[in-house]
Amino acid sequence: MARSPSRSRSRSRHRRSRRRTRSASSSSSSSSSSRSRSRSRSRARSAGATPSPPPRKKPRRRDEDDANAPRPPRDVSGDVTPPRRRDDASGDVTPPRKPMQEDKQEDSNTISNKTPAVRSKRTLLPDARSTGRTGGVYVPPFKLAQLRAQQQEALGPNSETLQRRTWDALRKSLNGLINKVNVANLGNILPELFQENLVRARGLLARAIMKAQLASPGFTHIYAALVAVLNTKMPESGELLVKRVVFRFRRAFKRGDKVVAIALVRFIAHLVNQQVVHELLALEVLTLLLANPTDDSVEVAVNFTKECGHILAELCPEGLRAIFERFRGILHEGEIDKRVQYTIEGLFAIRKGGFADYPAVHEQLDLVESGDQITHETTLEDKIDCEDKLDVFRFDPDYEKNERMWSAIKKEILGESDADSDSSSGSEDDGDDDGDDDDDDEPEQPVAADNNVAIQDYTEQDLVNLRRTIYLTIMSSITHEECAHKLMKLNIRPGQEKEICSMLIECCSQERTYLRYYGLLSERFCLIKREYQDAFDECFAEQYSLIHRLETNKLRNVAKLFAHLLFTDALPWTVFEYIRLNEEETTSSSRIFIKILCQELSEHLGMKTLKERFLDQIMQPTFAGLFPKDNPRNTRFAINFFTSIGLGGLTTELREYLKNAPKMIMEQAKAAAESSDSSSDSDSDSDSSDSSSSSSSSDSDSDSSDSSSDSSDSD
């Protein structure tokens, strides 16, 4: 029976597997024997026996390449460089390293191959510090100043190099001053700015301000206040800045650059708040942003309205109302994102609060009087020339003349004049001459040193310490009686009563809600001394005149404090003479103050008692401004005001007066006409009497003359 090929293959596999197992067993036995030998050696070492010498290594068999390879040369010192070779992963062989002797020989050969001229010349490598941009020799500052002064003398003022150097210094100075401006040091930065030639640096100044504003939009109100002050002295600089801001806003709006557009509209808003630019520009910007509303344009418009909504509500309320109608339409359409819709709703809430959290101008930045403001009427449709050439240096052939002209302008701006110094020096010279004459006439007398010199502290540090003590006492007291007792122990000097009153009003205004604690404390001081009543009277006049600077919450607290003093009769009601209720002499803030004050009085006294107080005949001159009867228009305004705040019962007398005003006017006109007629009749009668008397006198004269002539004839 023949064998199958599958069986033969399986048998051959079995044979191969047996051979593998035998080889594996032999290798394991050899490894076990080597382990046993190493264990025996370690035991012998631990037992202290002398270790047997290590077995000799068998000489490595050399390959044919190693045997045929030349032996490395041996140098004088006996070092041998081993000709080791390594096989790279790619199969390449790394050549053996050359000995140091061969390197030295090659270096000597390369040196000997050079030309004699090059070999004889000593070559020095240049230092990187001397050839680099930061290299050079250190020169102390005073020597550097001396060198520059010598260079200026050598170059002369009309040299282009010197003018360029002055231009660079001017640019760096303006950048440094603009970058470090803040609310605290704004008053110190302005004189330093006017020390620079702002006529020559108009472009640099506008560029520095815009660059700083784009870098830090949070300081925009500070830069706007700075521009407002500069605009009063140099309107050209303010106009150039306004043009560049408007031009860059138009470009950012066309490009869709949201970040730059938000920063620039914020700058425009604060320029409108400072009255540097007309409010019509603000309405144009809002109209442009809301013409084709998108998410970004509506968001920019909302931010812009927050910044300048307060002043727009005062200057052009109709335009602001139209803008909010457009916002309401966008909100009803619902085509914009939900997030932007929420921002519009938040804007309506801010408008309802009277933009209390977004005042037009902060109190510390209100640096320009309303009469000194110069407003530029720049619009979005104007063709604007940014005058970019002003940012680049140009040679000035009349450099010295222009510098002298700027020096005169600077003295006029900063109020520096040599006349005072000349007059003072002249008076001193005259005094010296007179003194010399007196010395000639009279003998010298010893001058006694005056040790009792009165020192005046213009820093008002004592006043600051007093205010701090008053504030800490008010804040640390539990009851108003305790606080009054502590404040009376401070030994307030005469004339400092107003400090306590002003601190009480300030602390009351800072509270989140009105606290009766301040009213009771103020009442206690008014009842202690008459001087505190007079001080609170002055504070009422000051607070009412500056009431537009207070936020709504502060305004409410101050009004409630004075209402407490009035209904407790701690403060006389003569303070109402400071109030004149008409459309021209009141603002929204002052009307809110009057509203809260009268409502508090009505709540605590009652309408009947309050009306009796206001109708007191003795106090009518005091209340003439609150209930005006000088003009029917003002009377109608007061009636509408008290009716709108729920106190229409106080206007009964005013309504009767307004009803009878035409009759009274007619009667007054008739009386005036009759008085004029009577005066004319009396004048005519007097004229006739004068003429009759003159005629009688002339007749008597003629009779006397006739009699005299008759007598003469008889004679």
Residue 282 pLDDT > 80, yes or no? yes
Both tokens assigned to 659: 């009803």
Least confident range of 483-487, 663-667, 705-709 = 705-709
Residue 36 pLDDT > 60, yes or no? no
* Confidence (pLDDT) at 702: 44
Q: Do residues 547 and 597 touch, judged by C-beta distance below 8 A? A: no
Strand-pairing partners, residue 277, are 376
Least confident range of 34-43, 157-166, 345-354, 433-442 = 433-442
Phi, psi of 329 (to 5 degrees): -65, -40
Closest CA to 544 of 534, 559, 530, 531: 559
Look at the block and give the residue holding tokens 């520096």: 416
* Confidence (pLDDT) at 458: 61
Percent pLDDT > 90 in the chain is 33
User: Averaged over 397-405, what is the pLDDT?
Assistant: 86
Report the distance separating Cα 613 and Cα 616, nearest Å: 5
- Select, from the ranges 369-373, 394-398, 454-458, 600-604, the one with the highest average predicted confidence (pLDDT): 600-604
Confidence of residue 381 (pLDDT cuts 50, 70, 90): confident
- Rg of the chain, C-alpha, whole Å: 51
- Select, from the ranges 439-443, 602-606, 708-712, the one with the highest average predicted confidence (pLDDT): 602-606
Q: How far apart are the first and last CA of the chain?
A: 222
Give tens-digit pLDDT for 166-208.
889 899 999 999 999 999 898 899 989 988 888 888 899 999 9
- Select, from the ranges 37-41, 398-402, 422-426, the one with the highest average predicted confidence (pLDDT): 398-402
Give tens-digit pLDDT for 635-650.
889 999 999 999 888 8
Q: Do residues 280 and 379 touch, judged by C-beta distance below 8 A? A: yes
Give tens-digit pLDDT for 128-173.
444 445 456 888 888 877 887 777 777 666 778 888 888 898 999 9
Which amino acid, 704? S
* Confidence (pLDDT) at 504: 93
Residue 239 pLDDT > 60, yes or no? yes
Report the distance separating Cα 247 and Cα 206, nearest Å: 13
Provide the 3-class DSSP secondary structure of residue 446.
coil
Whether this prediction's pTM lies above 0.85 is answered by no
Strand-pairing partners, residue 93, are 87
**Alpha helices (H) along 316-374:** 317-333, 338-352
Confidence of residue 676 (pLDDT cuts 50, 70, 90): low
Residues 6+ apart with CB under 8 A from 170: 196, 197, 200, 201, 204
Residue 525 pLDDT > 50, yes or no? yes
Both tokens assigned to 235: 């309107």
Residue 31 pLDDT > 90, yes or no? no
Residue 400 pLDDT > 60, yes or no? yes
For 642-691, the three-class secondary structure string (H helix, E strand, C coil) is HHHCCCHHHHHHHHHHHHHHHHHHHHHHHHHHHHHHHHHHHHHHHHHHHH
Region of residue 51 (phi > 0: left; psi between -120 and 50: alpha; otherwise: beta): beta
* Confidence (pLDDT) at 151: 73
User: Averaged over 303-310, what is the pLDDT?
Assistant: 92
Residues 6+ apart with CB under 8 A from 233: 194, 413
Residue 46 pLDDT > 70, yes or no? no
Q: Max Cα separation, the chain?
A: 222
Residues 6+ apart with CB under 8 A from 411: 417
Phi, psi of 93 (to 5 degrees): -115, 125
Structural domains in the chain, CATH included, are 154-391 (1.25.40.180), 461-626 (1.25.40.180)
Q: Do residues 199 and 401 touch, judged by C-beta distance below 8 A? A: no
* Confidence (pLDDT) at 456: 61
Confidence of residue 462 (pLDDT cuts 50, 70, 90): confident
- In this structure, the chain runs to a length of 715
* Confidence (pLDDT) at 142: 80
* Confidence (pLDDT) at 41: 56
Closest CA to 241 of 216, 218, 274: 274
Both tokens assigned to 188: 């110190």
Closest CA to 282 of 307, 253, 260: 307
Q: What is the DSSP string of 129-182?
A: HHHSTT-S----HHHHHHHHHHHHHHH-TT-HHHHHHHHHHHHHHHHHHHHT--
* Confidence (pLDDT) at 592: 94
Q: Residue 381 belongs to what H/E stretch?
A: none
Q: What is the mean pLDDT of the chain?
A: 76
Confidence of residue 287 (pLDDT cuts 50, 70, 90): very high
Q: Residue 203 belongs to what H/E stretch?
A: helix 202-215
* Confidence (pLDDT) at 598: 93
* Confidence (pLDDT) at 441: 44
Residues 6+ apart with CB under 8 A from 465: none
- In this structure, the dihedral spanned by the alpha carbons of residues 566, 571, 574 and 577, taken in order and rounded to 10 degrees, is -70
Confidence of residue 394 (pLDDT cuts 50, 70, 90): confident
Q: Taken in order 702, 703, 704, 705, is the CA torsion positive or negative?
A: positive
* Confidence (pLDDT) at 158: 72
Report the distance separating Cα 675 and Cα 268, nearest Å: 60
* Confidence (pLDDT) at 543: 92
6 or 248, which is more confident?
Answer: 248
* Confidence (pLDDT) at 78: 46
